[in-house]
Structure 1
Amino acid sequence: MPDIPLPSVIAVSKGRAHTFTKALHGSITLLAALGVEGDAHCGVTVKHRSRVAKDPLQANLRQVHLLHSELHDELATQGFQVGPGHIGENITTRGIDLLQLPRSTRLHIGATAVVEVTGLRNPCSQLDAFQAGLMAAVLSRDEQGRLIRKAGVMGIVLCGGVVFPDDHIIVALPDQPHQPLEPV
């Protein structure tokens, strides 16, 4: 029987400034109820600039951005050059269909960190500034014509800890009934 690799972390990234791309690091520290230590989006209240403009006191449901590296593979077949951290994610994964997880799924990452998935990342026009046509490439439609957003998921930190590339991820689904992910 072939070995099936466990879901894992491929890369970790963070950025102090509100820039599109985040720098790769050897590790990141997740802080409970806050996010990634030293990242521009760390905090109890929302830090995403367009959301701050609407309501600076709303809860930060976007403390951690996770992106499946399988999207990088898909984009490469379309001629895009996108790698870990390039489109703003903090944790790049492999082996998890992040987009199909229900809301409130808990991702146990490494020794102690736990991230609860809150929703989908809604792709923005900054993608096209990074590489022309990238926004359209991370959007598609299902058989019923519903929009599929492929730019990863957002989460909150339930338990802090240090996350390294190659850390394993254990997926803990919430109780039924499962709620599908919506943009946050």
Structure 2
Amino acid sequence: MTIPRVVSVSSDDEHRFTKPRREAITLVAGLGVEGDAHFGATVQHLSRVRRDPTQPNLRQVHLMHRELFDEVDADVSPGELGENITTEGIDLLALTRGTLLRLGADAVVEVTGLRNPCLQIDRFESGLLKQVVGTDSEGRTVRKAGVMGVVLAGGVVKPGDLVVAEIPAGVVEPLAPV
């Protein structure tokens, strides 16, 4: 069994689909990834800003499991699908809302929900959207393109850092798109 860890970190100061890989990123409590286009307490995703720029930013950090790259029929590397943190050895999609992810020595991210990928993913690789969003045997939508979160405690995150998940006690709230 693989020990849960960070495989890669990425950020981009412009709103582009793919984010360049970095040696390290700095998470800032309540704001997200320092220097990233989605950094802020209120929504930064362009379509959401147009609808209501005062909404809280529940998408400060995008985490994706590296294992997804093995599942899809596409040549995909960390950061290319827009994620800030690529993990390995942890089933991000099975987490519940409110799960705390401890990343490295200091950073803590609270999982807020699932990423809801849009058509931009097909511009990266034709047909990829159907591979990361599908339906299960009961007709329910299944989203595989990672999870979103907010930063509760800041810190530097780099490849090789451990990932420790703390599942909230009490009522389990399944992940939904944010």
Q: Same fold (TM over 0.5)?
A: yes
Pairwise CA distance, 1:140: 1.8
Q: What letter matches 1:11 in structure 2?
A: S
Distance 2:136 2:99 in 1: 23
Unaligned runs of 5+ in 1: none
Map of 2:12 onto structure 1: 15
Map of 2:33 onto structure 1: 36
Map of 1:160 onto structure 2: 154
Map of 2:170 onto structure 1: 176
Q: What letter matches 1:74 in structure 2?
A: E
Q: What's the TM-score once normalised by structure 2's chain length?
A: 0.98
Pairwise CA distance, 1:143: 2.1
Q: What letter matches 1:139 in structure 2?
A: V
RMSD of aligned alpha carbons: 0.7
Distance 2:33 2:7 in 1: 17
Distance 2:3 2:76 in 1: 23
List structure 1 runs of 4+ shifted beyond 3 angstroms: none
Q: What's the TM-score once normalised by structure 1's chain length?
A: 0.95
Superposed CA offset, 1:154-179 (max 9, x none) = 00000000001010011000112110
8 Å contact from structure 2 (residues 2, 88) kept in 1: no
What's the secondary structure of 1:60's corresponding residue?
A: coil
Aligned pairs, how many?
A: 178
What's the secondary structure of 2:38's corresponding residue?
A: coil
User: Superposition pairs for residues 104-123 of structure 1, below 5 Å?
Assistant: 104-123=98-117
Distance 1:63 1:86 in 2: 17
Distance 1:177 1:142 in 2: 24
